[in-house]
Amino acid sequence: MALLELDGVTRRYGALVALDQVAMRVEDGEVRAVIGPNGAGKTTLFNVITGTVRPSAGAIRFADQAIAGLASHQICRLGISRTFQITALFPEMSARENARLAAQARHPRRWQLFGGSRIFKEAEALADAALEQLGLSAIADRPAGLLSHGDQRLLEVAMAMAQQPRVLLLDEPTQGLSVEETAQAVETLARFLQASRMTVLLVEHDMEVVFRLAHRITVLHRGAVIADGAPDQVKADARVQEAYLGGLD
Amino acid sequence: MSRIIALILGLILLLAPLGLPPFAMTLLTEAVILGLFAMSLDLMFGYTRLVSFGHAAAYGLGAYSCGWMLLNTDIPLLFAVFAAALLTGMIGLAVGWMCTLATGVSFSMLTLAFAQLLYAISFKWTSVTGGSDGLAGIPRTAGPFGFAALSSKAGFYYLALACLVGGFLVCRGLVRSPFGAVLRGIRENEAKTTALGYNTRLYKIAVVAIAYGLGGLAGALYAPFAGFANTELLFWLLSGQVLIMVIVGGAGTLVGPVLGAAFFMFMEHQLSAWTEAWALYFGLIFIAFVLFAPHGIWGLATGRFRRASERH
Amino acid sequence: MSTLALLLTQTVNALSQSALLFFLGVGLTLIFGLMRIVNFAHGALYMLGAFVGYSLTHWTGNYWLALAGAPLAVGLFGTAFELTILRRLYRRDAHAFLMVTFGLALVVGEAVRLTWGPDALQVPAPAALAGVVFMLDEPFPVYRLFLVATGIVVAIAIWQFLERARLGLLIRATSQNADMANALGVDVRLIRSCVFGIGCGLAALGGVLAAPLVTASNGMAGTVIIDAFVIVIIGGMGSFLGSLIGALLIGFVQVFGNYYAPDFALAFMYLVMLAVLVMRPGGLLGKEA
């Protein structure tokens, strides 16, 4: 039984079919890249898994529990964390405080009105560990808004990790980064993924990043899965080449 | 540096009744009450970026409920004040629930609408609120527990001061707690806070309730202080004025809004003695602050402005 | 009075009220749609329009001149304010605008009180509009019918302006995507100044039209700003059609509410707003939740 299973997941917006009978099985410890041309449904797929959007049809199982239709903060608490295409941080808080707030969200007394120094200590321990994993310990005290783009994208991943997820959804982690920044970020991510054995769903446009990080690739086109397999397999698949890789550099 | 300032100010405030003439004591007491009112709004606006245009509702509710209790029952002053504050806080829960159905500008408009609704009700519900005349002749009934000391000018001043300091300690505790950290997250990026798994609406409702409770405490102190409660206490003009106090004083600092309240009162009393157009000048000063000194008076006073009360 | 006549009277009252509310709301929603500014000074500018209209009528003896002059004067004042003060705030967060326009509301309110005094001032309607017209044997004030007609004309004019006129199209484009419009060579800053000025002018138009009916008074700003916000919230901030629908809805709720249940009329208005916000947080036709 896979950690994350999707069966017949469909999402319609009126006449538009954003996701069409999507089926996927993501194993524990696997890094799965989801690729496809613009509008293929990648972000919708993430939204459906995290509960931001309800599927029109189909089932989603996480650790053998049905999660389709649950509220997003509930799904988050079950162990699925995600990052976004557009950087979303708390700019005036330090990197550590950002990660701490993320970790705090998982604490049973996160809402405590007074005191809470022990809660902060525990959250900070998780935050520091996550920052360390993503190579950000050096800039932990700097305000997030003043970090480089690359570090900001990595901070988002660190925040997701501070929540001790079982599945990490990374939505274009190298979005907006320059060539050098991308190379650095990818190296950090590769080391991190190797060391942590996290189960990851990765949406990426940059194929070099995909081939560097992913164990398997799922290709979406117009909402439907047109290929699913090892990177070399997918590269060679004619349908994929036709739909997508042909137009890619 | 700010510690020394705080100590000196604290000493001055404590010893004030010994040195100041009666009319100055009245002004000071009113400034303390207004300071508590402004501080309560800071919790909502300064720390959570919930812009309320209707905070006068809390003040008026506190004033009217306390005033009614003192006029119509035998409840002693101390209990009436805190009961009124508690009642206002509970209404604040309902108001918070209602207003947080919307976000952004709509939220602000709902707070305004609610305050206006109360304002309209206070005119019509003459039997309870006294209509356009309001409640007059509110006594400072000390009651049977020997709180007679509270009825005197100095006694009442110390009561108000105690409420201000107590309120400050409560707010500071809240702001430094895990709850406060979430509020800060909501202020800087609400969407992200939700994405992290927080049910931000609940936090917002809680903050509104607490802000109303403290604002209601201020109003409840005002009624026996001034001896009356009227519809002006619910009017949107007051809501705007208290927002100005928070911003001019320095939002998100707790201390700043108290200074802002004092500054506002000073302007009101001093400028109105010089010129009839004081409100006009005050409006201009306010605009100037928004443009050039967005961190307010406290920001200017502490130089390189750090939000000290929340870095932990 | 027969029921039909009563209904007709109230409907005319409601429509004329809606017209005034529309002038208020449409300016507010245009400004918000383009600049994401909630113009708290809108009520004060409405009031300024009424008082300026009073003065112009007295100096020139001609109401029609006042009708043209007051919106123009206030519109120019609004543009000047945008140029000198609002421009500095575009890089800051939206709350700065709220505060500054609130400050403007205070300043304008006080300036009006100091200039024209605390008493309400009568603005006489021109002779042509002063009488009554008989329909179904009941007298209808010509002025109210004039208001309704003006409301319709202005609504159509603005609609067509937004649909067809070059400036109107530029405004709509910039509302939707300022960066894109800028990239295409549109002078976004000029458009913003124009729209703010037009919005203020429309508010003043409402004021000068309302003056003969309700007199120019210092309390106008306060009551009217809430009404304006309610209509725009209900209709949807930024939607022209929304402001029209909101104005109609609230006009009718106010007039019929005041007639049939005067104690609760105010509550009705807020309840309607609450109901709309609960069902559609962005307003009936709004873009923003």
Show me where the domains of chain B are located.
Answer: 26-236
**CB of B7 within 8 Å of any CB in chain C?**
no
Q: What pLDDT was estimated at residue C34? A: 82
Tell which of A113, A163, A164 to mutate to test the B interface (max B CBs under 10 Å).
Answer: A113
Residue A32's identity, in one-letter code, is R
What sign for the dihedral angle of Cα B12, B14, B17, B19?
negative
Q: What pLDDT was estimated at residue B34? A: 97
Residue C288 lies in a domain: no
Nearest chain A residue to B170 by CA: give it. A114
pLDDT digits (tens, 9 = 90+) for C191-218: 889 899 999 999 999 999 999 888 888 8
**CB of B181 within 8 Å of any CB in chain A?**
yes
Chains B and C share 3 or more Cβ pairs within 8 Å = yes
C154: its two tokens: 């202005």
Average pLDDT of chain A to the nearest whole number: 89
Q: At how many degrees (to 10) do helices C3-35 and C240-260 cross?
A: 140
Asked whether B104 and C288 are in contact (CB, 8 A), the reply is: yes
Give the phi and the psi of residue A25 in degrees, each rounded to 5. Answer: -130, 120
* Residue closest to C108 by CA, chosen among C33, C200, C36, C190: C200
Identify all chain C residues contacting B105, using CB atoms and an 8 Å cutoff.
32, 38, 233, 237, 288
- Distance, first Cα to last Cα, chain A: 37
Any idea what the CATH number is for the domain that residue C147 is in? Answer: 1.10.3470
Nearest chain C residue to B248 by CA: give it. C99
**CB of C25 within 8 Å of any CB in chain B?**
no
Q: What pLDDT was estimated at residue B308? A: 37
Q: What pLDDT was estimated at residue B54? A: 92
Place of tokens 């109105």: B272
* Residue span of the structural domain in which C94 resides: 3-123+132-279
Alpha helices in chain C (DSSP H): 3-35, 42-60, 63-84, 94-116, 142-163, 166-176, 178-183, 188-214, 220-235, 240-260, 265-279
Query: Of the candidates A88, A90, A104, which has its C-beta nearest B178's C-beta?
Result: A104
Separation of alpha carbons C202 and C195, rounded Å:
10
Strand partners, A11: A19
Identify all chain C residues contacting B52, using CB atoms and an 8 Å cutoff.
none
Q: What pLDDT was estimated at residue B146? A: 54
Tell which of B44, B48, B112, B116 to mutate to test the C interface (max C CBs under 10 Å).
Answer: B116
Separation of alpha carbons A228 and A218, rounded Å:
4
pLDDT digits (tens, 9 = 90+) for A19-56: 999 999 999 999 999 998 887 889 899 999 988 889 99
Chains B and C: how many Cβ contacts under 8 Å?
106
Chains B and A share 3 or more Cβ pairs within 8 Å = yes
Q: What pLDDT was estimated at residue A246? A: 53
Asked whether C75 and C200 are in contact (CB, 8 A), the reply is: yes
Q: What pLDDT was estimated at residue C93? A: 73
Exposure of C62 in the CB half-sphere (CA atoms within 13 A):
5
- Distance, first Cα to last Cα, chain C: 45
Higher pLDDT, C46 or B105: C46
Higher pLDDT, A227 or B219: B219
Q: What is the nearest CA distance from B79 to chain C, expressed in angstroms?
A: 32
Judged on CB neighbours under 10 Å (0-12, 13-18, 19+), B218 is: buried
A contact set with B (CB within 8 A): 72-73, 76-77, 82, 84, 88-93, 97, 100-102, 104-107, 109-116, 119-120, 159, 163
Residue range C29-45: mean pLDDT, rounded: 88
Identify all chain B residues contacting C278, using CB atoms and an 8 Å cutoff.
101
Asked whether C74 and C203 are in contact (CB, 8 A), the reply is: yes
B93: its two tokens: 């829960």
CB neighbour list of residue A28: distance below 8 Å, 6 or more residues apart: A2, A3, A199
Residue range C22-47: mean pLDDT, rounded: 89
Q: What pLDDT was estimated at residue B9? A: 81
Give the phi and the psi of residue C130 in degrees, each rounded to 5. Answer: -85, -15
Buried-exposed string B149-170: b where 16+ CB fall within 10 A, e elsewhere:
ebbeebbbbbbbbebbeebbeb
**CB of B49 within 8 Å of any CB in chain C?**
yes
pTM to 2 decimal places: 0.86
CB neighbour list of residue B246: distance below 8 Å, 6 or more residues apart: B38, B41, B42, B45, B46, B256, B257, B260
Q: What is the nearest CA distance from C83 to chain B, expressed in angstroms?
A: 14
Element (H or E) spanning A154, and its range? helix A149-162
C163: its two tokens: 């649909």
Residue B302's identity, in one-letter code, is T
Query: Of the candidates C98, C104, C230, which has its C-beta nearest B113's C-beta?
Result: C230
Cross-chain Cβ contact A101/B196 below 8 Å: yes
Region of C92 (left: φ > 0; alpha: ψ -120 to 50; beta: rest) is: beta
Residue C235 lies in a domain: yes
Tell which of B287, B289, B292, B295 to mutate to test the C interface (max C CBs under 10 Å).
Answer: B287
Q: Name chain B's partners: 3 or more CB pairs within 8 A.
A: A, C
Q: At how many degrees (to 10) do helices C3-35 and C142-163 cross?
A: 30
Give the phi and the psi of residue B306 in degrees, each rounded to 5. Answer: -120, 140
Cross-chain Cβ contact B178/A120 below 8 Å: yes
Residue C205 lies in a domain: yes
3-state secondary structure (DSSP) of residue C238 = coil
B304: its two tokens: 């390189």
What is this model's ipTM? Answer: 0.84
Residue A248 has pLDDT above 70, yes or no: no
Q: What is the nearest CA distance from B288 to chain A, expressed in angstroms?
A: 25
* Residue closest to C26 by CA, chosen among C217, C154, C134, C124: C154
Tell which of B196, B200, B310 to mutate to test the A interface (max A CBs under 10 Å).
Answer: B196
Tally of domains in chain C: 1
pLDDT band at A245 (very low <50, low <70, confident <90, very high): low
Asked whether A34 and A45 are in contact (CB, 8 A), the reply is: yes
Identify all chain B residues contacting C89, using CB atoms and an 8 Å cutoff.
290-291
Residue C224's identity, in one-letter code, is V
Separation of alpha carbons A157 and A179, rounded Å:
19
Cross-chain Cβ contact A114/B174 below 8 Å: yes
* Residue closest to B98 by CA, chosen among A244, A82, C43, C278: C278
Q: What is the nearest CA distance from B295 to chain A, expressed in angstroms?
A: 15
**CB of B173 within 8 Å of any CB in chain C?**
no
**CB of B182 within 8 Å of any CB in chain A?**
yes
Identify all chain C residues contacting B283, using CB atoms and an 8 Å cutoff.
103-104, 106-107, 110
Separation of alpha carbons A40 and B103, rounded Å:
32
Separation of alpha carbons A208 and B3, rounded Å:
56
A146: its two tokens: 């003043």
CB neighbour list of residue C39: distance below 8 Å, 6 or more residues apart: C27, C28, C31, C32, C45, C101, C196, C199, C200
Chains A and B: how many Cβ contacts under 8 Å?
78
Cross-chain Cβ contact A102/B196 below 8 Å: yes
Proportion of chain A above pLDDT 90, given as a percent? 54
**CB of B295 within 8 Å of any CB in chain A?**
no
Q: What pLDDT was estimated at residue A24? A: 93
Separation of alpha carbons C97 and B287, rounded Å:
10
Strands C132-135 and A4-13: unpaired
Cross-chain Cβ contact B116/C226 below 8 Å: yes
CA dihedral B187, B193, B198, B199 (to 10 degrees): 60
Nearest chain C residue to B122 by CA: give it. C263
Residue C239 lies in a domain: yes
Separation of alpha carbons B14 and B145, rounded Å:
24
Judged on CB neighbours under 10 Å (0-12, 13-18, 19+), B6 is: exposed
Cross-chain Cβ contact B182/A111 below 8 Å: yes
Separation of alpha carbons B105 and B203, rounded Å:
18
Residue range A112-123: mean pLDDT, rounded: 92
What sign for the dihedral angle of Cα A172, A176, A178, A179?
positive
Q: What is the nearest CA distance from C12 to chain B, expressed in angstroms?
A: 26
DSSP B149: G
Region of A161 (left: φ > 0; alpha: ψ -120 to 50; beta: rest) is: alpha
Per-residue pLDDT of chain B (312 residues; tens, 9 = 90+): 667 877 888 888 888 888 888 888 888 999 999 999 999 999 999 999 999 989 999 999 999 999 999 888 888 888 999 999 999 999 999 999 989 988 887 788 888 888 888 888 888 888 888 888 888 888 877 655 556 677 778 888 999 999 999 999 999 999 999 999 999 999 999 989 988 889 999 999 999 999 999 999 999 999 999 988 998 898 888 998 899 899 999 999 999 999 999 999 988 888 778 777 777 888 898 899 888 888 889 888 877 444 433 333
Q: What is the nearest CA distance from B54 to chain C, expressed in angstroms?
A: 12
Asked whether A208 and A228 are in contact (CB, 8 A), the reply is: no
Separation of alpha carbons A192 and A168, rounded Å:
12
Q: At how many degrees (to 10) do helices B2-19 and B153-175 cross?
A: 160
**CB of B191 within 8 Å of any CB in chain A?**
yes
Judged on CB neighbours under 10 Å (0-12, 13-18, 19+), B269 is: middle
**Of chain C residues 126-185, which have a CB less than 8 A from chain B?**
none
pLDDT digits (tens, 9 = 90+) for C55-85: 999 888 888 888 999 999 999 999 999 999 8
